[in-house]
Structures are given as C-alpha cells and as structure tokens.
Amino acid sequence: MPLLEETTVPREHPPTLPVVIIGNGPSGICLSYLLSGYKPYLDPSAVHPNPVLYRKLQETRHLPITEQDLEYLSEGLEGRSGNPVAVLFDTLLHPNADFGYEFPPVLQWRRDKQQHLPHLVLGRATPGGAWHVMEGSMLTISLGIWMELPGINYRDLTNNGKCRGVTNDRATPEEISSYYRNYVKLMGLKQNFVDNTYVTSVQKLFRGHEGEGLENGHGGLGEGGKGVYEGREGEGVDEGGGGGLWEVRGYQRVQGDTHVPFCLFSENVVLATGASDSPAQLGVEGEELPFVFHSISALGLAVSRKKLGPNSDPVLIVGAGLSAADAVLCAFNNNISVLHAFRKHVDDPGLIFKQLPKTLYPEYHKVYHMIMAASVCSKIGGPVLFPDYTSFPEHCVVSFQSDMKCVLQGSNSLKAFKISMALVLIGTHPNLFFLKGQGQYLGLDPTKPISCKQNPVDVHPYTFECTKDPGLFAMGPLVGDNFVRFLKGGALGIASCLLKRLKKKGKLIAEGGGVGGGEFI
C-alpha cells in the first residue's frame, strides 16, 4: 500500500472533530451507533436474571446506561472477557448466554437527536471491516445472534424465514458482512462513514506558547513549524481529554487507483483496527518463498483454479487454531493430502478444540478426531483412518527449501517432505504503523510489540482510554476482546466517557447540525 509523502498533503487548515474512529468493523460501527444519539435504558418490562445487577439498574432506571457509573454496574460480574464493561454490556444484551439461555436483552433503545456527537469512521472498505475478506462459506465461531449489534436483530436481516437448527445458528462471513453493511444504512449512520480510506499518520499536536500555535514534536505542521490552527470559526482550539489535538493524515482511494490525500484534526482518536492486518511469521529460512502463504484464501484460490488436487504433493498446514482447522477441512474435502504441524501436544488443554461444544462445532471436532486418530496410529499402529492426513504434534518448521521441500523438527528428529504449498496459520498481529513506534509504547509491556493475546493496549478498564496517551482510545482485539459479543463493551465504555466529557463542553449537537463525512474528505 503506497503511503503519502508529507509534502503531498494540502497545507490548508484541516477541519476538526470531537472524535475520529479508525476502523469500520463491528467495533467502529457499534461506537458510531452510540455516538449518534442512541441511548440504552433499562426496559421497564424486563427483569434481569442477576438480582444484584437488576437492583442496581433499577436504582437509576431513569438514566441511560451511558450516563451511569459503569464501574458500579460491572462490580461482581463474571464472564469470558477480561474487560469488566465488556462483560456488563454482554449480560445486558444476552443475559445468561454462557449458561445456554437465549433471554431477550433487558435494554430499550431510544434516540435523542440532541445527544449526537459529531464523528467520522474511517475504513478501508465498506462498513464491516475484515468480514468482507474472510472465506465466505465457513461458519463463524460465534452464534449469529452474538454477532449482532444493538437495535437490529441479526435473524430479522439474515434468516429470511428459514428454520435454523443448533449448528446453523452460526453464520457465514458473507451473512455477517451483509448484516453490518445493512445495519449502517438502516440505523442512519451512513453520514458518519468514509469508505476506502487509508490512515497513514496519527500524531498528537500540543499547544505551544502563546503565538506559537500547535506543535507535534516534529517541527509543527508543514514546513518550518508554521501552520497555526485556529479551530472552527469563532472557536479556539479545544484540547479534548488529552491536552492537545490529534492530527490524522491519509488518503482516500477513488475511481480505481486515484488517491486523494486528506488531513484533519480531532480532539479524540479511537483505534478500532482489529487484529487481522499482519499475519504472524515463523521467522524461518525460506518463509519468503513463493509457495509459502499466510492466508487460507491462498488454498481456496489454488483449489478453485485446479492447481491442487488428489494427485498433488501434500499441503503443509502449520498451526492449531481455527484458521488452521479450516484449512485442514478445505484440503480434506477436496481430497488433497495434508501434513499438519503444530507445537502443542495432542492432549494440551489449551487446544481450541477442547474448548468448543461438539454439538455446536462438529467440523472442528472432526479435525480433532483426525489429530487424535493419527496420533494413536503413530504410537501403536493399527488401521489408518485418514490416509490423506498426517499430523505432527510437538513439531516446528526448521526451514523451507527452494526445491519445494520443508524440514520439520520433532523432539529428537528432523524430517524433510516434498510439498505443493505451505500455509502458515499461526495468528495475526495488529498493524499500527501510523502511530509512533508502531504504537508499541501503548502496550501493557512497552518493550514488546502490540499483541492481542500477549501484549494488548493498556487502557483504563471503564473508559478504554489509553493509559499512556490521554485522548487516544482502543477497543476490540487491540484490548483483548476478539469476539464481537464482547467488543461491544468497548463501544459502551468509550461512548460513556466521551459523552460525559464533551457534554460538559457543550459539544453535543442536534443531528444535522454537524458536518457529514463528505465534507471532510
């Protein structure tokens, strides 16, 4: 992806906004909804199954949840997220979901157009984020109803009257991406979204001494530190929650390959970029060779173009997560031989297969059955149940060779195999190249790169504001919430914080009184 040279960005004073959201996946969409005047109240007819939480909700039932004390409401709740607000919002939207119940939400949504907070959502494609590029025939790990956003029932948009059973209550990425696109239109959020935009730089501008304008530590705006910003007509520079403004630069792709640069100021920036930008690498010899891939889509493409088939050399699949399992299933269903290498032991409790119910995820348990059958066969002999599948637990890749060979290392052996292609599916990392130092300084451990599992962005637990950089917020996989079901909590925490903060400054305006996305870019 080409990046703009600094000198190509127009020098005119760019517009300013209270909030810019980078990323238009479900995180950014949900936050836009909450910033657009939609407010969650306790439904007067609802009773929450948690009596303690229900009592707390009744104490301030006249107030929207966004204006209540989220720390108080979250106290004592437990769930499958490390972020307390994520657990709170999930139990309000899906009470007792972890116990297998499907209770209706206890929230009632009302729109207050006087509480609209102007904002822009910048995304590289149409609303939906990474869901547009996922393999369309696979099923989501989550139930379809857990993928829905507030205000519109997922089944109302996707079910088309069909009866869905236990396993097909899960959804395809195609269904989910369609749901998110339609959601933005139906909820009247389109004016907040600018599609096909690529952010290339985000940096903080600090007010200098009187008369010196804003400084960013790199000579100020433009050349020679010039470029004082005066704000909107009749206003001074509002410093938001972080004591300065954020300068956001990038370009929008229009009419094919034409790039139109943009630059704007924002009092607050929200990182909602997800975690799928940069595939994790093994870091071994030959990983850059043309037959080594880091995306399952490469396998699907090779199969569709008939470059792989039953007579091909085996496909090497590296990894033991769901993407690797999807690749095993794709190859197996097309009668392609598989070599499956992963570091864990077959009985490791950390294997994802051990954490999924068999009735809901039969295809993944089929992969686990293949792994176990291959392990038993290698230990004690006996009939080979899956002759086109060979697993190599507790193995790692040593190298890939230009003659289409790979070398695997076990506990006490080296093995070389001729393969047709390799798929390295060991996870992904967020790409925060537009921040200083790749955003590494924002992590729980600032000496290591940001990692959604090992080193997420360090945020305040109830506002999701970065502890290292006030005025900068993060949500979704960047803070460890990899499931749509829980990333919505980040939207609640951020919206609550910003609405309270900017309400004091008189920044909330009636819908239509702000400036839509088309007037910025």
Q: Give tens-digit pLDDT for 146-172.
A: 567 887 776 566 654 444 444 445 566
Does residue 349 have a pLDDT over 80?
A: yes
Does residue 281 have a pLDDT over 60?
A: yes
Q: State which of 151-160, 198-207, 258-267 shows the largest mean pLDDT.
A: 258-267
Domains of the chain: 16-197+429-505 (3.50.50), 281-426 (3.50.50.60)
pLDDT score for 429:
84
Give how far Cα 384 sits from Cα of 141, 275, 371, 374, 388, Å. Answer: 30, 38, 12, 7, 9
Q: What are the residue ranges of helices labelled H in 277-389?
A: 297-304, 322-333, 362-380
Give how far Cα 422 sits from Cα of 223, 269, 316, 438, Å. Answer: 48, 39, 5, 29
CB 231 within 8 A of CB 15: no
CB 423 within 8 A of CB 317: yes
CB 194 within 8 A of CB 122: yes
Burial of 52 (0-12, 13-18, 19+ CB in 10 A): exposed
CB 286 within 8 A of CB 403: no
pLDDT score for 159:
56
Q: State which of 64-78, 114-128, 299-313 shows the largest mean pLDDT.
A: 64-78
